[in-house]
Structure 1
Amino acid sequence: MNEMSPPEPVARAEGKWWPSALEPGEKTKWLIFRIWDWLSLSLPSTSKVMFRQKLTGLEVARLVQPDSEGKVDRALIERRIASLRAKAESPMHRGEWRLVNEIELLVVGLWDLPTMRVEAKRQLFDAQALCLPGAAEYATEIEASHDDEDAMRATLFRLVLDVQDRFRKRHLLREYVAAYTARVSLIFGLSTTFFMALIITLAWMAQAHITSLFFAEQTGIGPPAPPPPGGMRAFSSFYVALAAGLFGAAFSMMAQTKKRVEKSTLENMRTNARFSMLFFRLGVGIGAAMILYFVFDTEFLGQGALTPTLTEVGFEVSTQTTALFTSIGGLSPNRDLSLLMLWSFVAGFSEVLVPSILKHAESSVNRG
């Protein structure tokens, strides 16, 4: 189940999954939900999944519990299994592992002792492959209950439940990794597009401004005021710095994706994959670029070959007419604009400090 899940129930119509009992206008909203989920941008609702798992485990445990005579109500279990199978095979139902897991738990109450011994070996193999904590203890309990059917059934039921829980968490982790990767890719694409669009727009504005001033000089029409340095309004460089910081933060997130998902736990991915956390990282990168801009503005670092002069940030007419970078109205970024974009881009990489910031904040709260 996802955070952004479409209305239920759903029914098959004309070869497609469509929501039943919905107005025609609501189908557009439902389709947007589906596309959002198809792009892997939605996150699974872990709390709902774990709640259903716990509730299912308690319900099945009650059904497979022997009565006062030590017998299991096989008829009740078989009716429940038949009901679940009919529900799973219904064309109006989407396949869910939840039903399969519940049936797997129910059949534990139907097995005889030899069958449970065989199944216990298989479940122990899965538990060891999944590095399930307590797998050795389960092996000891199963060996001790080798000839006790009730004890074997109780132990096997708990083992199956724990193995299912492990598989479910691993599946949830894969979904979170997919959503995190898709969201970071989307943010990187939008940030890159925004940064490029801003630079191109400013270049065209500068080219139009320089052209109008040249026309005024040639015709004598218009104000004689000289253009700003570089043919660009000086404070526009502030927006360039913010956009470059945004681009740098998005690039850093993209470059760190593989490292962050390789050894992540489910809890870590639940936090890192949320848009709020991703925007927080972007905000840190933008903030660092903003501070760096004002550092350059105050000339705190002095004037040198590696620091930009903000009053000179802009575009220049290139003398190399065959150069590729002259394709934007015949202009190219001057040295100061290039340095500002470079340093702001590097400042965006400060988003990697977010984990240490959160850890420091958490420790402060714990001390308080």
Structure 2
Amino acid sequence: MSFLSLRSLGSRLRGAPPDEKNEVLAHEWLSLETIWKAARATLPDTAQKEIEDLFPKPLVWKSGAEEWHMLNAAEQAVGSVLSEPQLTTEFMVLMELARIRKLANLAAHENNVKLFDPTDESDAAIKRKRAAYIALLDDLQRWFINRRFSRKLRSETASRLFYFGLCVMGISVLPFLLYFLMFSLKFDGTSMVPGDVAKGHKLFSSNPLFGLGMVSAFGILGVYFSRVMRFQMNIQTFGFEDVMTEYQPRMLYVRLLYGMIGAFVFYFLLRSGIIGGSAFPDLANISVGEQIVWQASATDISPSPLHTKVMDPSGLSILGPTVDLAKLLVWSFLAGFSERLVPDTLDRTEARAKNSDHE
């Protein structure tokens, strides 16, 4: 693979456009040059030279902000010298494009269509037509500039969320890695019978730091998922205000911290017994342990839940969470995902406390 191919691949992975020719921009220049050649015959040499200097030599193929700005300036300069038949034709073409793009002030331009209905080549009429044409052209150019800007914002925000996601996933997995490491150090290798769980499972309840670490990590994961989901749902209307209010790095840091604290508080609400029920975890049963995978013996007798001779160890073991640990992590995720779960829970707790005081 050549160096240029590697560079192109790298730019694609970063979300940046590769160094390749843009046929759309080149065609726009070609079309404008064709219109200009038909309009320049009636202009003095000095005016012709001023506009000729706006056309690049050679033809521009690169698609960047500067290149599009050059094209917009040339289009407006050429539009200011078009003849009456050209103004009418080009205005109608732009009007169709404006209707397709649904410009915000389309109604104002629709009112200008009547200027082009009668064939009036007087100086006053041509001035009005040119003014209407330039106004429409300027609005369309502004629409395309805003669209390119929004596309760039979406690309930058997606890249930012991608790298934030990698960090969040690392944070979410870290407590489990530490837990399993500590478990492997504490496990004494004692032979087990069916239904047994290794002694290391008690590490979770005996050392609450692991519980808080997992809860906080899943709270952060819930926050990140809510941001990504909102970005995906609103990607078509995503704009500058969204970036500034929700997706700037500092705003993301604050939201991640908010979710982590929410999961942290929810954990202590569970620990205190203020909230509880079958949907919530029993913290006394939270554990992760190494479990032996047992198999039926060659007698083909159905496996028994009791320790009998019909069960043989398969030679495999797994580390698995209990149902209560799974519930705890799900609620921690929800505490970060939902901006109102913890505040609403605290409000209800406060209301119950006030009612008990009155009683």
**TM-score (normalised: structure 2):** 0.64
In structure 2, the CA distance between the partners of 1:168 and 1:321, relative to structure 1 (3 Å rule), is farther
**1: distance between equivalents of 2:323 and 2:336?**
20
Taking a change above 3 Å as real, the CA distance of residues 87 and 351 of structure 1, as seen in their structure-2 partners, is farther
Give the CA deviation at 1:280. 3.5
1:229-270 CA-to-partner distances (Å, cap 9, x unmatched) read 712422221111010111122223333433222344554355
Residue 160 of structure 1 deviates from its aligned partner by 0.5
Provide the aligned length of Structure 1 versus Structure 2.
Answer: 280
Identity across matched positions, percent: 19
Deviation at 1:101, TM superposition (A): 1.1
Could you tell me which residue of structure 2 aligns to residue 260 of structure 1? 234
Match of 1:320, SS state, is strand
CA deviations 1:274-333 (Å, max 9, x no partner) are 33333333333222211101212222125x5443354654422324358xxxx9985322
Residue from 284, 290, 299 that aligns with 1:317: 290
Q: Considering only aligned residues, what root-mean-square deviation do their CA atoms show, in Å? A: 3.9
Asked if 1 retains the 8 angstrom alpha-carbon contact of 2:291 and 2:317, the reply is: no
Counterpart of 1:279 in structure 2: which amino acid?
Answer: Y
What amino acid is aligned across from residue 39 of structure 1 in structure 2? R
Q: Distance in 1 between matches of 2:175 and 2:110?
A: 64
Amino acid of the structure 1 residue aligned with 2:275? L
Which of residues 147, 164, 171 is equivalent to 1:194?
Answer: 171
With structure 1 as the length reference, what TM-score do the two structures score?
0.63
Secondary structure of 2:102's match?
coil
Match of 2:338 among 347, 350, 368: 350
Which residues of structure 1 form unaligned runs of 5+? 1-13, 17-30, 43-70, 215-226, 354-368
Decide whether aligned partners of structure 1 residues 135 and 342 sit closer, same or farther in structure 2, where only a CA change above 3 A counts.
closer
Determine helix, strand or coil for the equivalent of 1:120: helix
Summarize the alignment of residues 152-301 of structure 1 with structure 2, pairs less than 5 Å apart: 152-211=129-188, 230-232=202-204, 233-269=207-243, 271-301=245-275
Structure 2 segments unaligned to the other structure (5+ residues): 18-41, 191-198, 296-314, 342-359
Question: Is the 2:292–2:318 contact (alpha carbons within 8 Å) kept by the matching residues of 1?
Answer: no
Q: Tell me the CA shift for residue 150 of structure 1.
A: 1.6
SS in 1 for 2:289: strand
Distance 1:90 1:250 in 2: 39
How do 1:48-197 and structure 2 match up within 5 A? 75-76=46-47, 78-86=49-57, 89=60, 96-144=67-115, 147=120, 148-197=125-174
The answer (yes or no) to whether the contact 1:188–1:250 under 8 Å persists in 2 is yes
For residues 56-100 of structure 1, the C-alpha deviation after alignment (integer angstroms, 9 at most, x for no partner) is xxxxxxxxxxxxxxx987734643542451487499x98621111
Amino acid at match of 1:307: F
Q: Is the 8 A contact 1:204 1:328 kept in 2?
A: no
1:307 equivalent in structure 2: 280
Question: For residues 43 and 104 of structure 2, what CA distance do their matches in structure 1 show?
Answer: 29
Question: Is the CA contact (8 Å cut-off) linking 1:179 and 1:273 kept in structure 2?
Answer: no
**1:134 Cα offset (Å):** 2.9
Inter-CA distance 255–278: structure 2 relative to 1 (3 Å threshold): same
Q: CA deviation at 1:161?
A: 0.6
Residue of structure 1 in register with 2:14 after alignment: 39
Contact 1:77 1:106 in 2 (8 A): no
8 Å CA contact 1:234–1:310 kept in 2: the answer is no
Greater Cα radius of gyration, structure 1 or 2: 2
Change (3 A) 1:137 1:307: closer
